[in-house]
Amino acid sequence: MRCDVFSIFPDYLSPLNLSLMGKAQAEGLVDLSVHDLRDFTTDRHRSVDDTPYGGGAGMVMAAEPWARALESVIPAGSEVQRPTLIVPSPAGEVFTQARAEELATEDHLVFACGRYEGIDERVLEWAAGHFVVRPMSLGDYVLNGGEVAVLAMVEAIVRLIPGVVGNPLSLVEESHQDGLLEYPVYTKPSRWREADVPEVLLSGNHAKIARFRRDEQLRRTAARRPDLIARLDPAQLDRNDLEILHIEGFAVQNGAVRSVASDPGEN
Ligand code: JEW
């Protein structure tokens, strides 16, 4: 996979040369280039921003440096196999594991890191003629620019490329999560500062261990991510699951898992 990243702070992306990402690059699984957007300016001051039409606070990234930058990575003479252009934005589609899995199968990803109040919208419209354009949000909070979002997205995508993560079984286990949060994990020593590892994990009883872990997944998902509980398919839940969920304040109603009154939650 080829990845091109454009930013006015290319040094911000240097973690991509470390650890897992660095190894993936050294092994030729990923070919990553980080480009300085200012190299595509034409004025003496290398400016990339200007005041917003319609008024308002802050500055907007001007179209021309972006177009020149993006043109530099358009594959020669191919309307077919358009690269995917990911534009981090608080107004984008939310980046999820499903999006990471989809993007991990692409040949060529291009990332456009904005700053200030964002990029002139006409860049995205123009780019749609050469790229599959995907404005993407890392989540519902505001960053100062796209760089941190790109670090997270590239890490989530690249680790799914075959050969990048050492043990492919950990990827298989991950993808088989049934829409629940992970169970808690423990390592030696079995007693640490008065705190014991749950006894069942030392028992060697694999059926009981699996049940314990499933219960913990259900409990923490109910407590921390009730939105995920509401999306469970009741047909995939056994009697034990339903009992745990009931203790946590959920029950099956009209073919869906619903929160049962007693806990009013935040609303
Ligand atoms: C994010 C890119 C570029 C992504 C997620 N645009 C914009 C904008 C900004 C602040 C306030 C309002 C709009 C700053 N900003 C970005 C923010 C991505 C840029 C400039 C971003 N949160 N924030 N998930």
Q: Mean pLDDT in runs of 10 for the chain (267 residues)?
A: 98 90 91 97 98 98 98 84 97 98 98 98 98 98 98 96 86 81 98 98 98 98 97 97 98 96 55
Q: Residues of 218-255 as b/e, b for ≥16 C-beta within 10 angstroms?
A: bbbbbeeebeebeebeeeebeeebbebbeebbbeeeee
How far, in Å, from the CA of 26 to the mean position of ligand 1?
32
Ligand 1: residues whose CB is within 6 Å?
88-90, 114-115, 117-118, 137-139, 141-146, 149
**Helices 239-247 & 206-224, crossing angle to 10 degrees?**
40
- Residue carrying structure tokens 């890191």: 113
Nearest CA to ligand 1 atom 8: 117
Alpha helix segments (H runs only) across 95-142: 97-103, 121-127
Instruction: Give me the pLDDT at residue 262, please.
Output: 65
Please report the atom of ligand 1 found closest to the CA of residue 137: 24
Which of 143, 148, 150, 153 to mutate for ligand 1's pocket (most ligand atoms within 8 Å of CB)?
A: 143
Q: Are 60 and 198 in contact (CB under 8 A)?
A: no
Q: Which element (helix H / strand E) includes 227?
A: helix 226-229
How far, in Å, from the CA of 85 to the mean position of ligand 1?
16
Instruction: Give me the pLDDT at residue 254, please.
Output: 96
Note if the bond before 162 is cis, omega within 30 degrees: no
**pTM of this structure:** 0.94
Instruction: Give me the pLDDT at residue 183, please.
Output: 98
Q: How far apart are CA 130 and CA 126, in angstroms?
A: 8
Instruction: Give me the pLDDT at residue 45, please.
Output: 98
Q: Are 4 and 110 in contact (CB under 8 A)?
A: yes
For residue 52 the two structure tokens come to 């917003």
Neighbours of 206 (CB within 10 A): 8
Instruction: Give me the pLDDT at residue 85, please.
Output: 98
Please report the atom of ligand 1 found closest to the CA of residue 114: 3
Chain center to CA of 108: 17
Neighbours of 136 (CB within 10 A): 21
Residue 185 amino acid letter? V
Identify the sign of the CA torsion 38, 42, 44, 50: negative
- Secondary structure class of 44 (helix, strand, coil): coil
Q: What is the pLDDT of residues 60-102, one digit of tens each?
A: 999 999 999 999 999 887 677 899 999 999 999 999 999 999 9
Instruction: Give me the pLDDT at residue 75, please.
Output: 84
How far, in Å, from the CA of 63 to the mean position of ligand 1?
17
Instruction: Give me the pLDDT at residue 259, please.
Output: 96
How far, in Å, from the CA of 79 to the mean position of ligand 1?
30
Q: Which element (helix H / strand E) includes 217?
A: helix 206-224
Q: What is the DSSP letter of 41?
A: -
Q: How far apart are CA 228 and CA 179, in angstroms?
A: 7
How far, in Å, from the CA of 2 to the mean position of ligand 1?
25
Would you state the torsion angle of the CA atoms of residues 244, 250, 252, 258, taken in this order, to the nearest 10 degrees? -150
- Residue carrying structure tokens 């009697």: 239
Q: What is the pLDDT of residues 136-148, one digit of tens each?
A: 999 999 999 999 9
How far, in Å, from the CA of 40 to the mean position of ligand 1?
22
Instruction: Give me the pLDDT at residue 78, please.
Output: 62
Nearest CA to ligand 1 atom 13: 117
